[in-house]
Each structure stands twice: as structure tokens, then as C-alpha cells.
A and B are shown apart, each in its own frame.
Chain A
């Protein structure tokens, strides 16, 4: 699985869009980009994943660059409950389902 690089921490004002970047310059053609988050004292929670097209669900949007070497997770209207550590993970879709977590980005939403 390709390695990812994320900023260790970010701040965002409540109600604004939170944009979390992730670099994955060694991503292979069959690898997907996944995002999970972990709220304090809870297990990680799946947010979204994508291959090359932009994706949107009820939680967030995922923007993947055309060369697929980086992506951005967007929380459109951040709330205090979005304060968490966000993990960007790159992996193939099929096969063993292990997730390789990095250090993630600690996102703090400020009132």
C-alpha cells in the first residue's frame, strides 16, 4: 500500500468548510483513497473513498487530483463534533482488508 503524508494538525472555524489535504505521490493505478476519522476515545469511522473521480456523500466530499498524487477531504460546514483525527489511507479495493493508518491530521473545530 502506498504511503500517505498529512499535516499533523489543522484548525477550522465552526460553520466554515474544513479542507484536509493528503499527499500520496506513489499511488498505483489500482489503489483507492480512503478517509477515516477517529473522535476521541472512539474507534475509527469510515467517511468516504474514491479512485479517480470526485466523490460526495452525506458526510463529506473527496477531491482527487487528475494525476491522483494528492487529494482533499472537504467537510462543507464543520461543527464542533467534527473535531477528530482524520486518516487518509491508500489501498487496493480487493484482497486482504487491512487498513494501514499513518499519524493522521488532528482537526480542531473552534467555536
Chain B
């Protein structure tokens, strides 16, 4: 158990719909990163939020967006869902303090797009 929670656990949507995934970071952590993991692949970095600001983004289109709240929890929003968006979405929290700190991953949200 890492103390990072994600909701919902599973989700089924249809193509064209919008989805919001949620992540509660570990106590004391100020940074949240989101990753997409397609079946059989390693996780791919989507973006990172530090103190409510986006702090780095991977190769994902603008329809992937996020938020970080004052309590450092975070949301991942995906608009105009496509079939290829079906994946496990992972969030990871960490404490940014100048040098690298371990990222603690949540259990993920399994999104299926039909």
C-alpha cells in the first residue's frame, strides 16, 4: 500500500465521450504524475503537476488535460475518447525537493472505450 488512491477502479465509456479520473496523493507529497499503460506495454508519461501547475508533458494531444488542487489531489480529463485510449491510467505522487524522490504509484484506473 503506497497511500496513493485512484478512482474509479474500472470505467467503461463509448467513443466520443469525456472522462475524469481522480487521484489522491500520499500525505505530504506536492507532485502528481500521470501515466498511460496500454496492454502489454510499459507506462507512458502523460504529464506532471507541481503545486497546481503543469510541470512537464509527454507526447499526448491537448484533449488530455489535468488539474491539481490545493490539497495536491489531481484529476485527469480526457475529451473525445478514442478506442486507443483504452488503457490502465496510473498516477504517482512524490515530494519535489530539489533532488529526485521516489514516485509512489496508485493501483490505477482501467478505462475501456467501446
Contacts and interface: CB of A to CB of B under 8 A. Distances in A.
Given A96-B56, A98-B33, A103-B42, 6 more contacts: A43-B107, A44-B43, A46-B102, A97-B31, A97-B56, A97-B103
B8 interface: no
Nearest to B6: A43
A93 B45 CA distance: 17
Chief secondary structure at chain B's binding surface? loop
Interface centre among A44, A93, A101, by most chain B C-beta atoms within 10 angstroms, is A44
Given A94-B100, A98-B33, A98-B48, A44 B90 contact: yes
A87 B90 contact: no
B58 interface: yes
A50 interface: no
Contacts of B100: 32, 93-94, 97
Given A43-B2, A46-B102, A94-B100, A101 B42 contact: yes
Contacts of B94: 97
Interface string A94-111: 101111111110000000
Contacts of A96: 48, 55-56
Interface of A: 32, 41-46, 85, 87, 93-94, 96-104
B99 A87 contact: no
Interface size class on chain B is 20 to 34
A94 B97 CA distance: 9
B108 interface: yes
Interface string B16-60: 000000000000000101010000011111001000000110100
Contacts of B96: 97
B7 to A, nearest CB: 14
Given A97-B94, A99-B45, A100-B45, A43 B106 contact: yes
B107 A42 contact: yes
A94 B99 contact: yes
